[in-house]
Amino acid sequence: MRRLRDPKTGCAWDREQNFKSIAPYAIEEAYEVVDAIEREDLADLKDELGDLLLQVVFHSQMASELGEFDFNDVVSGIVNKMIRRHPHVFGNENFSNTTDVKASWEAIKAQERAEKQLSQGLTSSENPPPASALDGIAKSLPALKRADKIQKRAARVGFDWPNAAPVFDKIKEETDEVKEAVARSNAVDIEEELGDLLFSVVNLTRHYGVDAEMALAKANKKFSGRFMHVEQLARDQNADMNALSLQELDALWDEAKKL
């Protein structure tokens, strides 16, 4: 990467990049890693992990050019973090179950966030601002993933339904509010109420231990596969999908589901 970024002999494209310009590639590569895992393709997973690692190297090299940090600093940082967050493995703490381990992990993370704020001058040891359970949740996360993290953080301080039953009621309530907004033809309200409905659905997935982002990704994959079967069935019948009735398309969909 140093050679690729060399001002004289490097690659023009690589030299032109900055942190913001290549940030989307890190997200893209992370999703391709997940896709390889979903397909259980370990050979592809190896390649995709390499692509993801390249993003770490790329950012590290650019930071090194600014005199901020380099790749070794990144590795040292995560090593130290893992040691610090596992006192029951690398220290003298003893935890009897996973619940205790998670509680310790969150307590250590909260302490790290407070120390980070102090070091950045965002607070002072004399008059620290009240900490929020939601501190540190990345705003750039996909909306479903961020909703899940927000809800989990809130749940850790007791702000949660006791079980999934009230969530179903909440989803019905939000659905009714969407209908009311639609009846008023208020675009702003429709968007807000649909957002509330989606947030409630994420709450339901969380109560059943389902990752909302992965669940929707699988639904996308399932729909895409079935839709492409519908397209093929229409071609086999020399039919134009735009000319087919909803009932005819429904019949093709049912046939695709059987396939």
At residue 184, φ and ψ (nearest 5 deg) are -85, -10
Distance, CA of 115 to chain centre:
26
Do residues 115 and 34 share a domain? yes
126 falls within a domain = no
For residue 62, CA distances in Å to 7, 16, 19 come to 12, 11, 8
Of 180 and 99, the structure prediction assigns the larger pLDDT to 180
At residue 8, φ and ψ (nearest 5 deg) are -105, -45
Q: What is the DSSP letter of 162?
A: S
Do residues 99 and 51 share a domain? yes
Number of domains in the chain: 2
241 falls within a domain = yes
**pLDDT tens readout for residues 191-201:** 999 999 999 99
Residues counted in the chain: 259
Which pTM was predicted? 0.67
Q: What is the pLDDT of residue 125?
A: 54
Mean pLDDT of 151-159: 90
Give the separation between CA 140 and CA 32, rounded to whole angstroms. 18
173 pLDDT tier (thresholds 50, 70, 90) = very high
Mean pLDDT of 211-217: 90
Do residues 252 and 150 share a domain? yes
What's the domain range around 232? 143-258
Burial class (CB within 10 angstroms; exposed 0-12, middle 13-18, buried 19+) of 115? exposed
Give the pair of three-digit tokens for residue 33: 């890693």
Q: What is the CATH number of the domain that holds 97?
A: 1.10.287.1080
**pLDDT tens readout for residues 77-97:** 999 999 999 999 999 999 989
Q: Which of 245, 132, 147, 237 is nearest to 196 (CA)?
A: 147
